[in-house]
Structure 1
């Protein structure tokens, strides 16, 4: 049940963090309107709130976000920047994802 509950929260947080950062990137690096930056800042602030919805401790939650964000960043870049990951990107992302799943979901006494 923990996995089923936590994964959508991780994905929502990833969308807020990556989407917010991307909007700020567009505003500052690609001369988009100021409101891109404002929306990006709001999304990043909401990411901070979403992270508190996880049931584990801070260390495990944020370590796991790191690995999930690696995968989501590659997927985001494929969709919005026409990025094509190479085999090292894919292998590295899978290793990171496996590692954080062990950190977060391993049974503990």
Structure 2
């Protein structure tokens, strides 16, 4: 699988997980109606299904996914929560991204 497709699949997987968890947060802490839990169930089911679409061994997939998830979560912080990431946030995500790239490259061999 091409690394661009793999990375895109990881990003979609991360978005599904973040959306599912965010909807639960809205319900639990921000008094959103119980109807948001239906969306959470759908998003989290999509997350699990998308995570199963990766061709590499599950342990390697989960490790690489963790890095992409962290990067995606920081983008979520900026776009949805409207909080500007700090220099430390950026440095941490850059470090994680390098490790994630190594894992993804290794899984494509």
TM-score, normalized by length of structure 1? 0.91
Contact residue 56 and residue 107 of structure 2 kept, 8 A: no
Give the aligned partner of residue 42 of structure 1: 42
Higher relative contact order (CA 8 A, sep 6+): 2
Q: CA separation in 1, counterparts of 2:83 and 2:54?
A: 31
Is there any run of 5+ residues in structure 2 with no aligned partner, and where?
Answer: none
> Could you tell me whether the CA contact under 8 Å between 2:60 and 2:107 is conserved in 1?
no
Tell me the TM-score normalised to structure 2 length. Answer: 0.91
* Equivalences for residues 61-80 of structure 1 within 5 A: 61-80=61-80
C-alpha separation in 2, matches of 1:81 and 1:101? 26
Where does structure 1 differ by over 2 angstroms across 4 or more consecutive aligned residues? 106-109
**Number of residue pairs matched?**
109
Separation in 1 of the partners of 2:94 and 2:5?
A: 21
